[in-house]
Structure 1
Amino acid sequence: MTYLLVFLGGGLGAMFRHFINTVSGRMLGTAFPYHTFFINVSGSLVMGLIAGYFAFKGGSSQHVRLFLMTGILGGYTTFSAFSLDAALLYERGAVGLAALYVLGSVALAIAGLFAGLALIRAIT
């Protein structure tokens, strides 16, 4: 059942992401990645709202959390999970580890993308 909830939520999140991509491209153009910027910021905001609500108010089942956080937000943006992980490290007092996680994730993700591009260029 949990996999089905994540699957359904992920589909909804991905559909909403596609909607934002399409609308922002038409309205704002494609010279700057407004769509990704908006999705990352809004997804992180919503993750904070949901995680905070569950942490401070409680009363939510694991199924609801999986559907909303892993499913919908996971399909919408994985940046929200990244942001939550960084915030949790910071909140636990592991400030240095949080900084390392943020800087390392961003730097290595971009490096990984460039490495993938270079590899494909080299073999094609």
Structure 2
Amino acid sequence: MNILTLLAVASGGALGATLRLLINGTVNKYIPHTLPFGTLAVNLLGSLLIGILFAYFHLNSTLSPHLKTFLITGLLGALTTYSTFAIESFFLLESGHYTQAFANMALNLFGTIFFAGLGYITILHFTK
């Protein structure tokens, strides 16, 4: 691993974490707290974007590996958050909010897979 790879991950990660903070805060400010919608929003958005980028990079293999690392590992890796989703689900379970906990788990798991696939398939479809 070289210094450019480390810089790509670090700078993308700083941007992604900042975006997560802003998006999460904005969503939680305007949507009632029955579920952790801020975390769900960043995970769904990040999954859609990673699907789009994977398709784009698949079609454009000559792009810089540092750009890929910046966007995928850095930016989107920091934008999305599995650990926050996990602890929020745990706290919902621990507090006896079983319906909300399982809804949160289902929406994050199936929603992120759906959105990643949607992004990927959409790009492949429109570039035929």
What is the TM-score when the length of structure 2 is the normalising length?
0.59
Residue number in structure 1 paired with 2:34: 31
CA drift at 1:78: 4.9
CA drift at 1:31: 2.2
Per-residue CA deviation, residues 45-69 of structure 1 (Å, 9 max, x unaligned), is: 1000000001023221110000000
The structure, 1 or 2, with the larger RCO (C-alpha pairs under 8 Å, 6+ apart) is 2
Per-residue CA deviation, residues 20-46 of structure 1 (Å, 9 max, x unaligned), is: 111011111322111111111111110
1:59 to 59, 62, 68: 62
CA drift at 1:18: 0.2
Aligned residues: 85
RMSD: 2.3
Q: Is 1:20 the counterpart of 2:23 in the alignment? A: yes
Whole-angstrom distance in 2 between the partners of 1:40 and 1:69: 13
Flag as ranges the 4+ runs of structure 1 deviating above 2 A: none
1:2 to 2, 5, 15: 5
The 5-angstrom pairing of residues 31-110 of structure 1 reads 31-78=34-81
Unaligned runs of at least 5 residues, structure 2: 95-128
Unaligned runs of at least 5 residues, structure 1: 80-108, 118-124
Whole-angstrom distance in 2 between the partners of 1:48 and 1:21: 21
Identity of aligned residues (%): 39
Per-residue CA deviation, residues 50-95 of structure 1 (Å, 9 max, x unaligned), is: 000010232211100000000000110156xxxxxxxxxxxxxxxx
